[in-house]
Chains A and B, each alone.
Chain A
Amino acid sequence: MSSRVFKVWRGDKSGGRFVDYQVQAEEGMVVLDAIHQIQRTQAPDLACRWNCKAAKCGSCGAEVNGKPRLMCKTRLDALPPGDVVSVSPMRSFPLIRDLVTDVSWNFQVNQKIPPFTPRPDATWIMQQEDVDRVQEFRKCIECFLCQNVCHVLREHDLKQHFFGPRFFVRIASLQMHPMDGLDRMALLKDQAGLGLCNVTKCCTEVCPEEIHITDNAIIPMKERVVDRYYDPLAWLWRKIRHAP
């Protein structure tokens, strides 16, 4: 067992700083194990979120050495050996305490998206290949790492005008659901602010579920919006061609 130094951000709305902790590193340890060890042995009040410890619930997002990661999925032996490991809260959301941020804005956004609404003629017979893409989107564990990293939210703080990549994925999953009968194009164009995304792909890079956020969700949705609002003929053509 070797010992490693962790710099963990401690503080609340009124301010804070990095505090150093010595962690006894065990084989196969992940960052969340280290945080738990610190809680158990040195800082019983260290605030962090977690549930599954298996990259399934999306609770434990934080910035490890400045990079957005799930703490339960980040192994110490995958980080540069010997170096100090820094752990800080996601920066794009208001801080509550230590590693815990206020992500409630995301829940408010979700509420603005009209839910799944079956077509009147839905048969519920769907082929696997017709739902593969929707299932890819539905893998999302709502870790909000993509929201955290997207510059429209992180640098420009345009939360009033932009739903963020997580919710483009959500809308795409509804639009591409073979049995859904609602149209959310106007929402995407206006309220959701899809046009503000300039396809930097930073969101895709951090997604722990390896969802192809930009290529499979954002770009096809942008195309649909363009067709609809700027090239209605192409839209009509597609609609006729795809008509059942």
Chain B
Amino acid sequence: MTDTSCKYETHEHDVIVIGAGGAGLRAAIECSAQGARTALICKSLLGKAHTVMAEGGIAAALAHMDGQDNWQTHFQDTLYGGKYLNNWRMAQLHAQEAPERVRELERWGAVFDRTPDGKIMQRAFGGHTWRRLAHVGDRTGLELIRTLQDKGVHQGIDVFMECTITRLLKDGQRVCGAFGYWRQTGRFVVFQAKAVVLATGGIGKCFKITSNSWESTGDGHALAYQAGAQLVDMEFMQFHPTGMVWPPGVMGLLVTEAVRGEGGLLCNNQGQRFMEKYDPKRMELSTRDVVARAIYTEVKEGRGSPHGGCFLDISHRGAETIKRKLPSMYHQFKELADVDITKEPMEVGPTAHYTMGGIKVDADTGASGVPGLYAAGECTGGVNGANRLGGNSLSDLIVFGQRAGAGAAAYASQAAAPRLDQEQVEAAAREMTSYFGRPSAEDPYRLHLDLQNTMQNLVGIFREEKDLTTALARLEELKQRAAKVGVVEGQRIYNPGWHLCRDLANMLICAEAITRAALWRKESRGAHSRLDFPQYDDYFGEHNLLVQNDGGVMKVEPCPVVKVPELIPLVEQRKAREKK
């Protein structure tokens, strides 16, 4: 017999942080440092969040390798990479505060690679004018997450791991907590809080070929959308140019940009360094959108590698350097693909990697439009605009994690105790038990695959109106099927089939938001390429698109880019330089 009990346990805090990647951990550390009783909730075990996979480094203008570097140049690079759709204020804070946040990691025990004079080492990366990425070989994310994790658990944060949040609870307009289930037991849990910080990461699992883990189902995007918050820049999905293409089991797995940062060369099957056709100035270190489209085009025109990618060669750097600078890439290829990258080229192709779009927040505090709801990290939009530069995410996590944590703690210290609405809790519980006992239920795994194929084929690297409208129609069908999805086998204890049923609802919201925004933006810019509108458009160049829930209907509307008047000279200077 299935346990259909709707019983739940309750916890009370000042602030709950949903997500324990870099952004969530940094936010929780800040909240608790400000004296707020803080809970940190995550779907996996602590320390396993997606951030752990980050490889190449953290962008911060420390100017250890290139003395000329400064926040102004980092700001300009970020805006140029984002095709000027970034929230200027976010890009400014990000560039200004990243160095201090990186130094802080060091003071908390992180051990970065060193320069010859004993400082934090920095490497080159696509789109960054100077050598800017602080790193630890190619496992920078692990260093970041472990450092924050150890700092956090010794600071009195309550950690709830393997716990999935399925709804935000509201008290009138304001957010007052969250409802979720324990993966290990299937039991329900209610968190009552004065403020909530979302730090749930990306939505890569909407696509078939992705570098993201199972957790990246856009939960935070969907929770915020359902709670009435706005999403911004959803049409911009970053396809990283270099994912593995073979063997099938690892298709999409990331090959870090650090390979190109360390001198890796991209060639087609005729041995030509094809980037000279697409961006002769920056070549392999062009921005990701440009390199991804270049590889896609080479393959489409018949110049691809045997398994449908192109070649990436680093072997000229010599075995010793490669093993020291790129150890996990060396092992990844050796063990998973039988390829020795110190001797032979890798085969690589584009993979859905990073979500530029996300919850629209106030740059300084991380506040969304919904009172009490804050957000940080990949689940937010703004800092990256139309395309993110490598290394700018890890820095985003610690800069805005800190800010959102401080913002939420400040709000909580003023706010009255919230009131829980029993009816909302019961509805959330009923939703989770409703997946059981559905006769002839839809198979969630099948449905997920159909969703991924739809997005991959119709809303991928190149888009056009007819594909996007077809995608919307398909998503409509998928939504109908999702209403019938159910658990065919097993009970509530650690049942991945059950979990997926609920995750699908989030992915469908995200997929629809991406598709609707992509249809709206009738131009090509950054990561968004329309075959039917291949040029830049001046109107769209000045506007972001917002997605919002309007009485159950998804609404898209434009809003002017957030600019900072004092920074106009910096931006104009950069634009002038690019024209030369």
A interface, CB within 8 angstroms of B: 12, 26-30, 32-33, 39-40, 43-59, 73, 75, 96-98, 100, 102-103, 107, 110-111, 114-116, 118, 124-128, 131, 134-135, 138-139, 141-142, 174, 177, 180
Contact = CB atoms under 8 A, between A and B. Distances in A.
A49 B119 CA distance: 38
Contacts of A142: 47
B249 A131 contact: no
Given A12-B493, A45-B497, A50-B213, 20 more contacts: A27-B247, A28-B246, A28-B249, A30-B250, A30-B336, A40-B445, A44-B445, A45-B487, A45-B495, A48-B496, A51-B48, A55-B332, A56-B139, A57-B52, A57-B53, A115-B151, A116-B108, A124-B119, A128-B113, A141-B52
Contacts of B254: 54
Interface stretch (B24-32, B142-150, B368-376, B505-513): B142-150
Contacts of B213: 50-53, 57
B44 A51 contact: yes
A111 B152 CA distance: 10
Interface residues of B, number: 64
Contact of B153 (A110, A127, A174): A110
B245 to A, nearest CB: 11
Nearest to B446: A40
B44 A135 contact: no
Considering the complex of A and B, which 7 residue pairs feature the smallest CB-CB distances, nearest first?
A28-B247, A45-B490, A116-B109, A44-B497, A125-B118, A47-B494, A33-B249
Nearest to A174: B109
Nearest to B254: A54
Contacts of B491: 45
A107 B498 CA distance: 27
Contacts of B477: none
A213 B85 CA distance: 49
Contacts of A45: 487, 489-491, 495-498
Contacts, number: 162
Contacts of B497: 39, 44-45
Contact of A103 (B45, B103, B143): B45
A39 B493 CA distance: 15
Contact of B247 (A26, A49, A98, A177): A26
B443 interface: yes
B142 A141 contact: yes
B526 to A, nearest CB: 27
A75 B335 contact: yes
B117 A125 contact: yes
Given A44-B445, A51-B52, A52-B213, A124 B106 contact: yes
Contacts of B109: 115-116, 174, 177, 180
Nearest to B184: A96
B126 interface: no
B498 A28 contact: no
B349 interface: no
A126 B494 contact: no
Interface in B128-155: 136-137, 139, 141-143, 146, 150-151, 153-154
Contacts of B337: 28
Contacts of B53: 51-52, 54, 56-57
Contacts of A114: 154
Nearest to B448: A40
Nearest to B151: A115
Contacts of A44: 443-445, 487-490, 496-497
B328 interface: yes
B253 interface: yes
Given A12-B493, A111-B153, A127 B111 contact: no
Contact of B111 (A56, A98, A111, A131): A131
B114 A131 contact: yes
A125 B119 contact: yes
B114 A98 contact: no
Contacts of B240: none
**Chain A CB within 10 Å — which of B48, B49, B108, B445 has the most?**
B48
A219 B489 CA distance: 49
Nearest to A137: B111
Given A44-B496, A97-B494, A52 B247 contact: no
Contact of B107 (A39, A96, A124): A124
Contacts of A75: 335-336
B95 interface: no
Interface in B468-513: 487-491, 493-498
Nearest to B498: A45
Contacts of B106: 124
**Chain A CB within 10 Å — which of B215, B248, B444 has the most?**
B248
Contact of A59 (B44, B150, B153): B44
Interface in B180-194: 184
Given A44-B490, A125-B117, A28 B248 contact: yes
Nearest to B159: A107
Contacts of B338: 28
Nearest to B117: A125
Nearest to A34: B249
A27 B248 contact: yes
Contacts of A116: 108-109, 150
Nearest to B497: A44
A96 B332 contact: no
B496 A139 contact: no
A27 B336 CA distance: 11
